[in-house]
Amino acid sequence: MDAIFLITVLIVIFALVFDFINGFHDTANAIATSVSTKALKPRHAIILAAVMNFVGAMTFTGVAKTITKDIVDPFTLQNGDIVILSALIAAIFWNLLTWYFGIPSSSSHALIGSIAGAAIAAAGVSSLNYSGFIKIIQALIFSPLIAFAAGFIVYSIFKVVFRNNNLTKTNRNFRTFQIFTAALQSYTHGTNDAQKAMGIITMALIANGYVTTTDIPFWVQFSCALAMGLGTSVGGWKIIKTVGGKIMKIRPVNGVAADLTGAMVIFTATALHMPVSTTHVISSSILGVGSAHRVKGVKWGTAQRMIITWIITLPISATVAGITYLILSSFL
């Protein structure tokens, strides 16, 4: 069997595995608030998230094109197939490690850092597409800050609008509305996160000469959407516990404010074709809502550990990918 074809098949398999892991790793982001407030039973929430993730993934491809061309140039990438395979192995490793410890880290940071690290190991820092790479990093940095501020503002508005309402009745109504916001959150998650695997598969197809444009083949879009949906159906209970309860005590009104904020920020990024971390955005929106509700009610120790993980993900995943590339390139 042709070596290039075999490596391409391996890349497709690993990309779909990454997407599957991304699905159960990030399920918590979309449904943690609705589960913690008992707006949805866990099983129902996961089914809803799986379906809406699939639908969202089948709707857009702009973010996938950004991943394909803006980190490195797939048309000129040296040893592109090995670079991409190394990046996927490193990103999967980091996702599984953080999932095992129940830490809501970023799959996006892991993948983007891994691509950069493997490319640098292959061809030096000049292999990076600096204008596109910096744009992606800016989106990853600013999106959680925007989500925090937006969550604070949205919940502050809620407090003013509903200040004279009966608390019990208001919470009951918001709990019902959380079904809609959980679906919306899951949909926007699919529109952004599933596209990252689509982009890396297309990058491999270009690097190995199987396609000549950055357009995403339908079979790539469908298979990634399916992998994301199936991964979501597995669920990530350790991370659900962290996002749903260890940041702050979430009530239905808090959950709705956080869900709407997260969905708004993620969908805006999708419309701009920018990959963002749904983990960062949703966790930051919860922190913003919690700060507007009661600053002392936020468990800042948990938030601090999450932020440290966010910061170290890029350099660690890049380093692991670089080492993986050096190992693989000596055998392949």
Question: For position 170, what pLDDT does the model report?
Answer: 79
Task: Quick: pLDDT tens for 279-290.
Answer: 889 888 988 998
* Domain spans of the chain, in order of start: 3-329
Question: For position 203, what pLDDT does the model report?
Answer: 94
Residues 6+ apart with CB under 8 A from 164: none
Query: Which stretches of the chain score pLDDT less than 50?
Result: 244-245
| β partners of residue 167 | none
Question: For position 43, what pLDDT does the model report?
Answer: 79
Question: For position 118, what pLDDT does the model report?
Answer: 96
Q: How far apart are CA 271 and CA 61, in angstroms?
A: 10
Burial of 21 (0-12, 13-18, 19+ CB in 10 A): buried
Residues 6+ apart with CB under 8 A from 176: 39
Q: How far apart are CA 134 and CA 128, in angstroms?
A: 10
Q: How far apart are CA 322 and CA 300, in angstroms?
A: 34
Q: How far apart are CA 140 and CA 311, in angstroms?
A: 11
Task: Quick: pLDDT tens for 90-107.
Answer: 999 998 888 777 676 788
Question: For position 232, what pLDDT does the model report?
Answer: 83
147 DSSP 8-state letter: H
- First-to-last alpha carbon distance for the chain, in angstroms, is 14
Question: For position 40, what pLDDT does the model report?
Answer: 81
Task: Quick: pLDDT tens for 119-131.
Answer: 999 999 999 999 9
Question: For position 244, what pLDDT does the model report?
Answer: 46
Question: For position 27, what pLDDT does the model report?
Answer: 64
